[in-house]
Chain A
């Protein structure tokens, strides 16, 4: 929040101007920033306040609201489906994030060593990130399909049994994680690459003179200096990964009968946000949905803090 304390260069008002009241003098500045705050008032502040209010009530969205006190939250704590969705979300997040950061870092290091066609590689690696999740989830559903998918064909070719990817608890999670890894590795590689390019070259020169090998150089120089970038990548992956919705929704909407938000057989691909949508819009339980939303918010905040702490402590 250091940015907030900086006072920008004050723009001097002409000395001849008569002192005017604040509002008259600055009205054009307030007008210029007002659209954002008006939209925020209607679609930001009101909703957040209202959802807090709602979470203490029972409401189906149509009838009258009924005061429920803390009972929605009490139920949330003992709701095994909610805990199941937390578990799923964290497992999918871990399955996607750790390989993704590892691959992205390796890719960035390779791109950073004076390689030809660098900009071509950068475009190729970034491409997955600009595609729509819906379209690409459909494509992944087909690549991982049990009978006719490319993945099982390759497995069969090397003599491994087929896997029912979209029908088993672990298969579902691995497929969702594979999709996320595919979509975000290149994006993060480019961010790591930018971080690498801020590390001065003479540090590497000095390390080489001291006889350090490439592995030693990576762990002693590259990794510590890349820590701010790593932190950025980890925080963004946590906040987006824990709120995954479109990937499991599109991949699994046809494979369960009760709800398009069920997350596949046995709810094993149901993430927290899917569960929120199911409770709210399939069950029309707006009060409980609001409580779930606050539960998700809490999990995301807790997880972000833990991640932050871990990365900050490591190098110190």
Chain B
């Protein structure tokens, strides 16, 4: 029998490392908040500042002067929302077909999908760039949206989800009622897999919002970029980097993500782990 004292000691031994881990997780966010309230010269003085300063509004003003913050945020939003919408539509349609219907060539087409899943991104960067330069998409958001509009991961993941979530009896019943393919998709499949769509949607949105390598290459007009590229421009100005401004930009760029995460945290964490364990 463990005494109350013993179990309390065990509790502390367990919580202490967990709390330290939480602090380490949170510290960079705290640091960004603190840095965004100081001027660049304060940031580079010793000892490091651990309490808020008074330059936040000034930094925000300078940030908006230095880059088209809202313009690039709008671009990021446009790309992330369009891609999320298209991915949800195309991936769930394809997943529904692969999960619940049979047709000639199905095995081969699905096998192809799994192979595509494993092809690394760099292999397609150059040809994609050349192709898009030819059709005139380089420099525009179309270059980011179209290639991302459907993906193998989402189809595979949704198919696994739909296989168990949508019962065949439901589909049979709806067919007897005379429902065609699209009606089945819309009225039978989609309502059942709504949690799966929420996961895929949040996951896609965050991935697009954070995407960096391809936008850096494809958005050749420095005045018309996504938020991540704008941030890196801010950081990359040789010699004259104003850390107060850069930190403020980094902080403000995190806000929309944190909101999405706050709304969907439970969904993301639960479903992500489920997929990994199922394998």
Specify which of B14, B111, B126, B260 is in contact with A54 (CB 8 Å cutoff).
Answer: B126
Number of interface residues, chain B, beta carbon within 8 A: 106
Once bound together, how far apart are the Cα atoms of A103 and B120, in whole Å?
28
Cα–Cα distance between A138 and B172 once the two chains are bound (Å): 55
Task: Compute the total of residue contacts between A and B using a CB distance below 8 Å.
Answer: 282
Instruction: Identify B18's interface contact among A110, A131, A139, A273, CB under 8 A.
Output: A110
The answer to whether B179 has its CB under 8 Å from any CB of chain A is no
Chain A interface helix/strand/loop/mixed:
helix
Q: Are A134 and B228 in contact (CB under 8 A)?
A: yes
Partner of A29, one of B103, B125, B175, B273: B103
Task: Decide yes or no whether B131 CB sits under 8 A from chain A.
Answer: yes
Please determine whether B277 and A250 come into contact, CB atoms closer than 8 angstroms. no
Cross-chain contact of A293 among B15, B98, B123, B277 (Cβ < 8 A): B123
Task: Write the nearest CB–CB distance from B187 to chain A, whole angstroms.
Answer: 15
Interface assignment of B269: CB less than 8 Å from any CB of chain A = yes
Q: Which residues of B contact A193 (CB under 8 A)?
A: 273
> A interface, how many residues as a size bin?
35 or more
Query: Does A20 lie at the interface of the complex (its beta carbon under 8 Å from any beta carbon of B)?
Result: no
How distant is A93 from chain B, measured CB to nearest CB, in Å? 15
Whether, in the assembled complex, B6 has its beta carbon less than 8 Å from a beta carbon of chain A, the answer is no
Complex contact B236–A40 (CB within 8 A): no
Contact among A36, A106, A148 for B91, CB-based, below 8 A: A36
Q: A138-B247, A286-B126 are in contact. Are A149 and B253 (CB under 8 A)?
A: no
The interface residues of chain A lying within 8 Å CB-to-CB of B206 are 130
Q: Answer whether residue B21 sits at the interface, using C-beta atoms and an 8 A cutoff.
A: yes
Question: Is A266 at the interface (CB under 8 A from chain B)?
Answer: no
User: Given A130-B261, A134-B228, A229-B276, does the pair A48, B209 have CB atoms closer than 8 Å?
Assistant: no
Q: Is A203 an interface residue (CB 8 A)?
A: no
Contact: A132 with B22, CB < 8 Å? Answer: no
Contacts of B152 in A (CB 8 A): 36
Is A127 part of the contact surface with B, judged by Cβ < 8 Å? yes
19 A-B residue pairs with Cβ-Cβ distance under 8 Å, sorted by A, are A11-B175, A39-B149, A47-B125, A51-B124, A110-B17, A127-B25, A128-B25, A131-B210, A134-B253, A138-B235, A142-B247, A143-B28, A147-B46, A182-B25, A243-B122, A253-B235, A289-B126, A290-B126, A300-B120
Chain A interface (Cβ within 8 Å of chain B)? 1, 4, 7-11, 22, 26, 28-30, 32-33, 35-37, 39-40, 42-44, 46-48, 50-51, 54, 61, 103, 106-107, 110-111, 113, 115, 119, 121-128, 130-136, 138-143, 145, 147-150, 153, 182, 186-187, 190-191, 193-195, 198, 228-229, 232-233, 239, 243, 245-246, 249-250, 253-254, 260, 273, 276-277, 280-281, 286, 289-290, 293-294, 296-297, 300
Interface residues of B (CB under 8 A from A): 14-15, 17-18, 21-22, 24-29, 31-32, 35, 43-48, 90-91, 93-94, 96-104, 107, 109-114, 116, 119-128, 130-131, 146-147, 149-152, 155, 163, 168, 171-172, 175, 180-182, 185, 206, 209-210, 212-213, 216-217, 228, 231-232, 235-236, 238, 241, 243, 246-247, 249-251, 253-254, 257-258, 260-261, 265-266, 268-269, 272-274, 276-277, 279
